[in-house]
Amino acid sequence: MDYSPLVLSLWVSVLATTIIAIFGTLIAYVLARKRFLGRTMLDAFTTLPMILPPTVTGYYLIILLGRNGIIGNYIYKLTGLSVMFTWQAAVIAATVVAIPIMIKSAKAAIESVDLEYEKAAFTLGKTEIETFFLVTLPLAKKGLIAGLVLSFARALGEFGATIMIAGNIPGKTSTMPLAIYSAFQSGEDQLAATLVIVLTVVSIAVIYITTRISRTD
Amino acid sequence: MELLVNISKKLTNKNSNEFVLNAEFKCGNEMIVLFGPSGAGKTLTLECIAGLEVPDKGCIIVNGTTYFDSEKRINISPQKRNVGYLFQNYALFPHLTVSENIIFGLRSRNNVKDQIQEMLDVFEIHGLEKRYPSQLSGGQRQRVALARALITRPKILLLDEPFSSLDYIVRMRLRRDLRKIREIIKIPIVLITHNPVEAYTMADTIIVYKHGGIEQIASPKEIFSKPINENVARLVGMNNIFKGKILDIRIDEVTIQSHKKIIAPGIEGLRIGEEVTWCIRPDQVMVVREDRPLGKAVSSNLFSGKITEIISKGATYLLFIDGDFDLEIEMPSHAFERLDIKLGQIIRVSLKKSAIHIIKE
């Protein structure tokens, strides 16, 4: 059996989840704690990939990152390379589609941390960054981890946006959901079923972990 | 002066209701009590001193350091103000142990052990070092929070409603702790309460707040016996308040015409015919026994009324009477029981002349 879809999927999802952990938490903190013009816009914009059909998100990513795209154009001119149809594109697709789940979950978790704790840390001489790492983060830990686990699961199952910008190149960009589709299409039912079972087991594990986290104090 | 506050701040809530805070006061290394109903701006004042809120304009100076000055564009961050702040719910970090909480604000890691030990000694919280806040009683939490605030040697200590969620015995304990703190460090301590008894017993100076403004600044004795206006009179429980007109002025007493004539001690600057408000504390209204000759102190201002309500407060009773004046009377339980007072009964009362306080309009 070819394990490359499994290995690729895990690699892509772990990378995407790492990016999501950093930027998702940062955006969530800004949304939860800062008052600024355009905050509602940012909130709506970062939620959008959760609502849009993934193929639509993928389409926008092509407009953004394609060889003639708004950003892709510059990258191509500078390096002669395009991110399209690479495993990196799969990481971008997974990140964009899964980050709203993290932002929602992390924002709720940070908002639930009583402001008094942060105020107390300020009066005790801690800067905002110190307070974030010493107080807010540990107290919001449960919601943050739950958000990350769910984001990981979403990244692992990403199909629509991935096929649009990364394609379905066996051994290169063919992640598990894409491999299931290909295997089923080409009549390799055995392979399709195996991959389906793997993804099902991972999903059940994710649900189990998140419920455990939200239950224990 | 160790603390000088002169600030104003306007807040607008979601329903576009406006709240304006205007606070101006100064004081030394003493215990200052901000007293008044909730929503009067007391907590906002503390937050402005601590730098957690920024006033629209004005200045805040603590121990010679300007924390805030809108004209000079000075606004020191809360981190650099070195203020000890006790939050209403203590805000102990739930994920840290007692000793981790206490040393949270320490910059230098030298002599940490000695400093913790000192705080444990002052607040008598030995043996709790490894516990988490959720494993402490309310009183213990408060002492840990005080230790955490004081270990950094703050320039000023701010206490937001420190008595509100404590039972009687723990309150007594806190009073003792605060006295101890004052012996150890000479800094201004600003304390918020809406409880008149706490205000009276704790304060060197009481600052009375109402609707974002300051009504009166004075010693507890002054505030409770000579409230400056009707608002303050009500806040300190001087619940018998009446209007009247000055009828006659003699050397040391005046006659006021209300429903009936009333004799009151004279004060400076009254004119005949002037409209005034006069008031008397419920505990200064004496119920007169019919079978006893009247003493000199209670021989004037005699009125009668019918008892409409009786409320027991444990050690004292509250009586409400309708009559010449509708009065609230507070009397010790032993006196109430000896007089055998019943609902609907008509009693005679004396408004002790020296206890009558005149508020000029």
Please state, for a pLDDT cut of 90, what percent of chain B lies above it: 58
Instruction: Report the residue from A114, A122, A139 with minimal CB separation from B79.
Output: A122
- Taking an 8 Å cut-off on Cβ atoms, the answer to whether A126 and B79 are in contact is yes
- A204 Cβ contact list (under 8 Å, min separation 6): none
Dihedral sign of CA atoms B131, B134, B139, B141 in order = positive
Return the number of CB contacts < 8 Å for A and B: 58
**pLDDT for the residue numbered A158:** 94
Q: Which residues of A touch B67 (CB under 8 A)?
A: none
Closest residue in chain B to residue A138, using alpha carbons only: B95
**pLDDT for the residue numbered B288:** 86
- Taking an 8 Å cut-off on Cβ atoms, the answer to whether B85 and A114 are in contact is no
Interface test with B, best of A33, A119, A123, A126 (most B CBs within 10 A): A123
**pLDDT for the residue numbered A216:** 62
Min Cα distance A212 → chain B (Å) is: 19
Distance between CA atoms of residues B299 and B202, nearest Å: 36
**pLDDT for the residue numbered B273:** 87
Residue with the larger pLDDT of the pair B248 and A111: A111
**pLDDT for the residue numbered A1:** 65
Q: Which two tokens stand for residue B355?
A: 């206890």
CA angle B206, B203, B6 (to 5 degrees): 40
Min Cα distance B97 → chain A (Å) is: 13
Q: How many CA atoms lie within 13 A of B84 on its CB side?
A: 24
Confidence of residue B40 (pLDDT cuts 50, 70, 90): very high
- Taking an 8 Å cut-off on Cβ atoms, the answer to whether B94 and A119 are in contact is no
Distance between CA atoms of residues B83 and B81, nearest Å: 6
Min Cα distance B3 → chain A (Å) is: 18
Whether B218 has a pLDDT exceeding 70, the answer reads yes
Distance between CA atoms of residues A24 and A151, nearest Å: 10
B185 touches chain A (CB under 8 A): no
Whether B164 has a pLDDT exceeding 90, the answer reads no
Nearest to B245 by CA among B328, B360, B104: B360
Q: How far is CA A78 from CA A40, A73, A83, A147, B270, in A?
A: 35, 9, 13, 36, 90
- Taking an 8 Å cut-off on Cβ atoms, the answer to whether A126 and B95 are in contact is no
φ, ψ of residue B34 to 5 degrees: the values are -90, 115
Question: Side chain identity at A115, as an amino acid letter?
Answer: L
pLDDT in tens, A47-86: 999 999 999 999 999 999 988 888 989 989 988 888 999 9
Q: Which residues of B touch A135 (CB under 8 A)?
A: 93
B93 touches chain A (CB under 8 A): yes
DSSP-derived 3-state class of residue A186: coil
Question: Side chain identity at A217, as an amino acid letter?
Answer: D
Confidence of residue B259 (pLDDT cuts 50, 70, 90): confident
Q: Which residues of A touch B79 (CB under 8 A)?
A: 122-123, 125-127
**pLDDT for the residue numbered B309:** 93
Q: How many CA atoms lie within 13 A of A25 on its CB side?
A: 19
B62-65 long-range contacts, CB within 8 A, separation 24+: B62/B2, B62/B3, B62/B4, B62/B155, B62/B156, B62/B188, B63/B2, B63/B3, B63/B155, B63/B156, B63/B187, B65/B155
Please state, for a pLDDT cut of 70, what percent of chain A lies above it: 99
Whether B294 has a pLDDT exceeding 80, the answer reads no
DSSP-derived 3-state class of residue A127: coil
Distance between CA atoms of residues A126 and B106, nearest Å: 10
Residue with tokens 């004060």: B267
Tell me how far apart the 2 most distant CA atoms of chain A are, in Å.
66
Residue with tokens 């603590």: B62
Q: What is the mean pLDDT of residues B161-183?
A: 82
Instruction: Report the residue from B77, B87, B152 with minimal CB separation from A120.
Output: B87
pTM over 0.90: no
Distance of CA B260 to the CA centre of its chain: 34
Distance of CA A65 to the CA centre of its chain: 18
Confidence of residue B298 (pLDDT cuts 50, 70, 90): low
Confidence of residue B177 (pLDDT cuts 50, 70, 90): confident
Confidence of residue A136 (pLDDT cuts 50, 70, 90): very high
Whether B54 has a pLDDT exceeding 80, the answer reads yes
φ, ψ of residue B208 to 5 degrees: the values are -90, 125
Q: What is the mean pLDDT of residues B138-144?
A: 92
- Low-confidence winner among A18-32, A111-125, B77-91, B168-182 (lowest mean pLDDT): B168-182
Instruction: Report the residue from B93, B94, B152 with minimal CB separation from A125.
Output: B152
- Taking an 8 Å cut-off on Cβ atoms, the answer to whether B93 and A135 are in contact is yes
**b/e map A3-41, b = 16+ CB within 10 Å:** eebbebbeebbebbbebbbeebbebbbbbbbeeeeeeee
Whether B178 has a pLDDT exceeding 90, the answer reads no
Confidence of residue B219 (pLDDT cuts 50, 70, 90): very high
Q: Which two tokens stand for residue A4?
A: 């490359």
Whether B1 has a pLDDT exceeding 60, the answer reads yes
Confidence of residue B198 (pLDDT cuts 50, 70, 90): confident
pLDDT in tens, B61-101: 999 999 999 999 999 999 999 999 999 999 999 999 999 99
Instruction: Report the residue from A125, A134, A139 with minimal CB separation from B94.
Output: A139
**pLDDT for the residue numbered B163:** 82
Distance between CA atoms of residues A157 and A12, nearest Å: 11
- Low-confidence winner among A118-127, B160-169, B248-257, B351-360 (lowest mean pLDDT): B160-169
Min Cα distance B148 → chain A (Å) is: 8
Q: What is the ipTM of this complex?
A: 0.84
Interface test with A, best of B14, B47, B62, B95 (most A CBs within 10 A): B95
3-state secondary structure A143-177: HHHHHHHHHHHHHHCCCHHHHHHCCCCCCCCCCHH
Q: Which residues of B touch A120 (CB under 8 A)?
A: 85, 87, 91, 93
DSSP-derived 3-state class of residue A216: coil
**pLDDT for the residue numbered B296:** 67
Min Cα distance B100 → chain A (Å) is: 11
Confidence of residue A217 (pLDDT cuts 50, 70, 90): low
Distance between CA atoms of residues A92 and A65, nearest Å: 10
Instruction: Report the residue from A114, A124, A127 with minimal CB separation from B104.
Output: A124
